[in-house]
Amino acid sequence: EYVLLPIASPLIPCLLKCLKVKIVLLVCLVGNMLGVFGLVMGPKMHESGDSAFALFVVSRAISGICHAGIAMYGSVWVDLHAPKDQAASWLGAMQASSLVGLVVGYTVAGYSEDWVTVFCVNLVWFAATFACLACAASEFIGSAASRHRSGSQVRLSFVSVPSGSFVDQADWADAREVELAEAEDPEVRLMSTHRPASAQQNVQNLPVYALMAFCVSSLFFVSGGLQFWATPYMEQIRLKELREVSGLGSEVEACAQVHSLVVTLVAVITLTAPTFGVFLGGGAVDSIGGYKGAAGRSTLKLLATGALLAMVFGVAACFSTNFWLAVSTFWVFNMLGAALLPGAFGLMLASVRSEKTSAASAIAQIPINLLGM
């Protein structure tokens, strides 16, 4: 799944040039439902051995391919539609919803004795999302607000696409706003001072785009690694403390109690810390002017400061031998890491020309999934 998702991601902008975004998203949801349904049917094919394994592989492959459109759509939609002074906060809310869903899924799967039931719940949620999306008006899904076009000098992408499609909406850039900003202060800009005349120039500032893509990849890599590392690490610390303080009565019973405590704490931490962090990070970026234009440099400095603090708390968590100190530093480390996501995602999209936002978001899924997830 994590291999096919980034491979399929660059193909999504091509589909968006031919189809409306609502159709593409509905097809992606249907593919995800088929993938989950295949996983649900796996136990019934268990007796056939290889057939069940083949069904599992095919189901995961379908899920990975069809998840590509959903993964790239959210950030692009927010970047196009969010109010300029709240764009980072909107990105934070989107990231928070993803994190909450991830943690809820892990929690339900952890407490469920039947993994087929978990996939059935997942299938129901996909079906509910499909129904809501099918009933939603197309203009709320893939059309740009009129404020992005009115009174503005507009530029159409060199690619000819159907009117009303998602890419068509993204292809219009507010050139007058850019020209006014550069006339007022041409020296204070995050983007390159040389703006290519060719509409086929994909990226305004390739270094910023690449660095932010790898920044997001590293955040997901650390987040995924912590899911495996935190639980056994804190269990060892807690068991060592119990042995030193009062000794252990029944080793098996003590291990079970410690495991239950740590799993609960990790679930609480991974739910509360990232959620608080993405809202904090989004609000902080908006408070300094957002991530677009001249404010982008200030956002970069803010992200660098947050990354440095996260590294300090990460080192403290690694070398801590006190259980509750490790829990506290682990929470702060998660929170600071999540706080970087809205600004990093925003800068990544802001460094790309408006007509290339969809393609840039899709291409970024390659390092995010291969190097991060």
Query: Does the pTM of the predicted model rise above 0.95?
Result: no
Please tell me the predicted confidence (pLDDT) of residue 133: 86
User: In this structure, are residues 168 and 161 in contact, taking their beta carbons and an 8 Å threshold?
Assistant: yes
pLDDT digits (tens, 9 = 90+) for 330-355: 899 889 988 888 888 888 888 877 76
Residue spans of the domains in the chain: they are 4-141+203-372
pLDDT digits (tens, 9 = 90+) for 71-87: 777 777 777 777 777 87
Q: Taking the CA atoms of 2, 32, 15 and 205 in sequence, report the sign of the dihedral they define.
A: negative
What is the band of 232 on the pLDDT scale with cuts at 50, 70, 90? confident
User: In this structure, are residues 80 and 21 in contact, taking their beta carbons and an 8 Å threshold?
Assistant: no
Helices 251-287 and 323-350 meet at what angle, rounded to 10? Answer: 40
Q: How far is CA 110 from the centre of its chain?
A: 22
Higher local confidence (pLDDT), 224 or 40: 40
| Ordered alpha helix ranges (H), the chain | 4-8, 12-18, 21-41, 50-81, 87-111, 115-135, 139-142, 166-170, 175-184, 206-245, 251-287, 295-319, 323-350, 357-367
Model confidence at 309: pLDDT above 90: yes
User: In this structure, are residues 69 and 25 in contact, taking their beta carbons and an 8 Å threshold?
Assistant: yes
Please tell me the predicted confidence (pLDDT) of residue 99: 67
Class of domain 4-141+203-372: mainly alpha
Model confidence at 229: pLDDT above 70: yes
Which one, of 304, 285, 315, 281, lies nearest residue 215 by Cα?
304
Least confident piece of the model among 148-152, 255-259, 339-343: 148-152
Q: Measured between alpha carbons, how far is 353 from 344 in angstroms, rounded to an integer?
A: 16
Mean pLDDT of 286-307: 86
Model confidence at 7: pLDDT above 90: no
